[in-house]
Amino acid sequence: MTDFHSLFDREPSVAADAPGRVNLIGEHTDYNGGFVLPTAIPQRTRVQLAARADDTVRVHSESAAETQEYRLGEETATHAWIDYVQGLTRLLRASAPPILGFDALIQSNVPVGSGLSSSAALSVSLLRALRQAFSLPLDDVALARLGQRSENEFVGAQVGIMDPMAASLADEGTALFLDCRSLEYERVALPRGTDLIVIDSGVAHNHAAGDYNARRSECEQACALLGAKQLRDLGVAELRRVEALPEPFRRRARHVITENERVLQAVAAMRAGALSRLGELFYDSHRSMRDDYQVSVQEIDLLVALARARTDVYGARLTGGGFGGSVVMLAHAGRGRDVANDIAAAYAARSGCDPRVLVP
């Protein structure tokens, strides 16, 4: 394990961390002003940091096994991991009070490209460390907003607010029921009688790539055709209007509108302990992401199919932005580890991919 003192010849003054997240349901609804339901996972990103008296920033990423250095005010996109740091410092340089330079060590076991919000875990953990080091007057929601702005404006990924809000506010015992328009949130207890499973498919994705940003653009175009500010403004009663749209806007809008409704129904099912109904909503969500939003891939579909073939799994679906990543499942209580290992083994044999059981 990398040692801060060996890198920077001094000790860190602050330390902070933030979790990755798995989204139970509510995919691609956040940037459409809708509802989401993420929960934190055990994997976390940790930052050790010491402030400097000049404008130099030195950051070491243990995952990348390299140290990058730049000066505040001279942030330049490199299309590498350091951009997630540079985007934040560019924003904070204009804050009150402004930050100075710093040395930082970043360590993480949140898998990159797995749909588990590794970028938001990095942003929020670093922001927490900077908030402490420079006494920044930022609450947890403000940190999430800064994380989103950094990815949107500097990194070039048009992500919504869900991931940084989950990294900043979610915990492992509850799901964060979040209204992505108002940012009102409520923690809902995870249902008893279930084990949470997260399996990384081994197919990596990249949110800064064109497919993700294209989906957001298609939603905006659908809104223009429908005369709506956001797809959140349209309920299931207006799906008849949506059906008149040309493709692909019809499918994109239909997914977002029905997915928002599924989140609301999932929260109700969790509160009622209606586990079979919750599982059905997972499968319906996956079908919509596969057919209407078209962000699933063959390997993800195989994992969901393997889960569906079992009687000890309530439901399974693609989680995260898609084009690879991970699957989230709800299994019968006490069966999670065996189910996850069985499905991962069957998937590896049929797909040739190298899956990872991340939860439990």
Q: Distance between CA 159 and CA 318 in Å, rounded?
A: 17
CA 67 to chain centre: 25
In which element (H, E) is residue 166 found? helix 162-169
Q: Which residues are catalytic?
A: 163
Rounded to the nearest 10°, the torsion over CA 256, 259, 260, 265 is 170
- Both tokens of 280, joined, read 């059905």
Single-letter code of the amino acid located at 155: V
C-alpha distance from residue 10 to each of 14, 49, 51, 52, 63 (Å)? 12, 10, 11, 11, 21
Neighbours of 149 (CB within 10 A): 17
Distance CA 38, CA 178 (A): 8
Q: Tokens 């189910």 correspond to what residue?
A: 339
End-to-end CA distance of the chain: 24
DSSP assignment of 128-165: HHHHHHHT----HHHHHHHHHHHIIIII-----SHHHH
